[in-house]
Amino acid sequence: MTTTESIATKGRTPTRSEPSPLSPRSTPDLDAPALVADLRTTFNSGATKSIDWRKGQLKALQRMLVEREDDILSALASDLGKPNIEAFVTEIAFVLTEIAVALKNLDRWVRPEKVRIPATQLPGKGRIYRDPLGVVLVIGPWNYPVQLLLAPIVGAIAAGNCVVLKPSEVSPTVSATLAAIIPQYLDHSAVRVVEGAIPETTALLAQRWDHIFYTGHGSTGRIVMAAAAKNLTPVTLELGGKSPTYVDASANLTVAAKRIAWGKFLNAGQTCVAPDYVLVHRSVEAELLKKLQEAVTQMYGVNTQETPDFARIVDSRHFVRVSALLDGEGAGTPYFGGERDASDCFIAPTVLVGTDPESKVMQDEIFGPLLPVLAVDGVEEAIDFINNRDKPLALYVFAEDKRVTDRVLDGTSSGGACINGTLFQLVPPNLPFGGVGESGQGAYHGRSTFETFSHHKSVLKKTTRLDPPIAYPPYTERKKKILRRFI
Ligand code: NAD
């Protein structure tokens, strides 16, 4: 399907805006080596190290998000049918908060950090300096195409780097919009946007970068890491996977159902930390299912295609992918939902029961509005189930019994976790966000984004006023004794 078709078909829902006049572009004349060389010249000039420059750029980004809110929201509606308020909160407000945190704390973050040093090195001073890394590449995905491209660059700029942004071609209107407006606000000599698909990303990956920050699927993450390895470039990989949810018999089921349904069906399930599937204590399975249905009806009404508050699948390729999971052998049957409309890229919020744990819908990350609910006999079975699979990006546990929540946290490994909630773990800027194992490596948000894009340079300052001969040869017996005793 071409981009124009994709925008046009999605224009039928009440949530979609008119197709943007900005058309997505590839960059056939991309000269990646020259681009990186240009930015390296800027970096080497020292311009981006200035704290005033960093703050000025962050304020310009802030201004851009405020002044161009309408352009951004209509691009998000065009690509994903995102309801305006959802798009504002999860894409624009999120980045504005990151900028506010960076502006408030930057002076403190850049201050060399004093550390204690051993008595043998006294008199002297130990300091850790935060140096910018240089010229960095940020590659974004399509599901939160504004937040996931711009939140990393808040830290990259705060840390004094030059940045190339590569928006996802799968959300073409957002890509074109950001490529058009970013140069109007940010310093073109230090921040560039490259649009395009695999050829452009491949050309960019062939260059020498000082850091690559990639958000997307693990299969592409492997390509990114292999390319980075050629230049020993460090990477941050923000990947996905199947984030499990355990609902215990002690859980507040009414709240659990609402929070699971909200976290799952936000952005039509196209959220990296969406609850992928639910493991529920058998004794409360029937009640949870009933409450999930009530929660969905309350949020989206009976005809979920009618509401302006439910997003669409990003394109027909992903519509076909999610549909195949729903139709696949062993996927189970819809407890509710299951309706589809290919012409509108619509798949209804769907809860599946009777799902085979070995079926494809329980193997692949769903990344769509399907929620398999599987019964287990207790917390230990849930932990075994989770530990027999890849380490997830997020893990959710609903329980009022603290022994259960402690046991789940202690017995499993995941990028992050939330107790009695979904997705909220992303919100506090002081909680670093990232994966582990197959769900990624490295973390960001708040100060961690600044740290990700900084080199921690250890510096020991010595005095020349004292220069005891003990450390120098010749190593007499007396010196050896002293060295063995005190070092
Ligand atoms: P995508 O297809 O938009 O790809 C992301 C980027 O990779 C794009 O810029 C694209 O141009 C580039 N790319 C794709 N294939 C490539 C190739 N062969 N060579 C070079 N570059 C290539 O997005 P996606 O991967 O479909 O994103 C969805 C995945 O991202 C899901 O698995 C989701 O869980 C994960 N995700 C993770 C996070 C997180 O924060 N951890 C956030 C959002 C999405």
Longest dimension (CA), the chain: 89
Which atom of ligand 1 is found nearest the CA of 197? 11
Q: What is the pLDDT of residues 90-119, one digit of tens each?
A: 999 999 999 999 999 999 999 999 999 998
Q: How many CA atoms lie within 13 A of 321 on its CB side?
A: 13
Q: Around Cβ 369, how many Cβ atoms within 10 Å? A: 28
Q: Of 272, 285, 365, 418, which residue is the catalytic one? A: 272
Residue 13 Cα to ligand 1 midpoint, Å, equals 26
H/E segment holding residue 141: none
What domains appear along the chain, each with residue ranges and CATH number? 7-239+441-456 (3.40.605.10), 244-428 (3.40.309.10)
Tell me the mean pLDDT in the region 5-11: 35
CB atoms within 10 A of CB 412: 20
Contact call for residues 189 and 42 (beta carbons, < 8 A)? yes
pTM of the model: 0.93
Q: What is the Å distance from ligand 1's center to 239 Cα?
A: 8
Please say if 438 is a catalytic residue: no
pLDDT higher than threshold 60 for residue 368:
yes
For residue 176 the two structure tokens come to 């074109």
**Residues whose beta carbon lies within 6 Å of some atom of ligand 1:** 139-143, 148, 166, 168-170, 197-198, 201-202, 215-217, 220, 223, 238-240, 272, 365, 367, 393, 435, 440
Give the torsion sign (CA, 104, 107, 109, 114).
Answer: negative
170-189 residue pLDDT tens: 999 999 999 999 999 999 99
Which residue's CA is the closest to the ligand 1 atom numbered 1?
A: 141
Residue 326: the pLDDT is: 98
**If you take atom 17 of ligand 1, which residue's CA is the nearest one?**
198
CA 245 vs. chain centroid, Å, equals: 19
In this structure, the residue with its CA closest to atom 10 of ligand 1 is 168
**Which of these, 2, 5, 12, lies nearest to 312 by C-alpha position?**
12
pLDDT at 3: 32
